[in-house]
Structure 1
């Protein structure tokens, strides 16, 4: 690889949550500006005393702050009630595909509610969680077992380079080659 070659990396990101947060922040800033303008306009025109204008401003700012503070709680309650009703409706109506089996394991990537001995359990609240089926060994122990007949792969990858900087420049290519080798091994190619 020549030293004057360059790599271009394209990064794509889902920015919808950032857009929503910025729109919410913009809305709150507009409400704050409107409250401030209204209070001082009333004081300047003489329709209200400065004291009553400042009291009105404080009341409106408190309401805006309270709305912002309670919004996450309201969103959580709304989501929890919706999931609970959908779970109850799915259980009562036969599910119609609403029940997701995990006999072979799986991953729960978002907060989800489940029945837990007369109570409601919550999983996935701090990020992705794995569900692993347990199996009993020949000696009676219960635990997670690797699939029978499959051993871990060993991939030996030798890299010869004249110096550390040239290795650093080729590191991304080496990682890609190693990833492709591991994928071929998983497919049995």
Structure 2
């Protein structure tokens, strides 16, 4: 007993239909070329061999043009991306986001960024230890705290030392919250 198996296939037929239209156009132009060549042979008295040779040369030229069209388009878009974008240079010294595919020079090669979605450009800076890392949004200002304690003698200072230390720690905590 055979099972009834059904499979639903969905596909975008637009490229296929475009190819069929292209083939239809080519066959029409081939028919026109062949008719013109045979008519030329009959009217001008040229040999059929010359006419067919010229027809083959014309068809080979058209096929070569069609075959090289994607390469020509790719080279054109790459050049317009490289040189067309030169008029609108966007600086990224302070960072930024690249949201669409963009080419950039990378030594002797060509780099591509943003091809899989948005990418961030982060400025780098050397830290106090000399290591290179992501630069913070701005430099944190240094905090200076001056604390004056007046005591009558060393013994009274020692008695209030714990209270002064607690007050100083609390002041520092409050100050760092705002940074």
TM-score of the two chains, using structure 2 as the length reference: 0.46
**Structure of higher CA gyration radius:** 2
TM-score of the two chains, using structure 1 as the length reference: 0.44
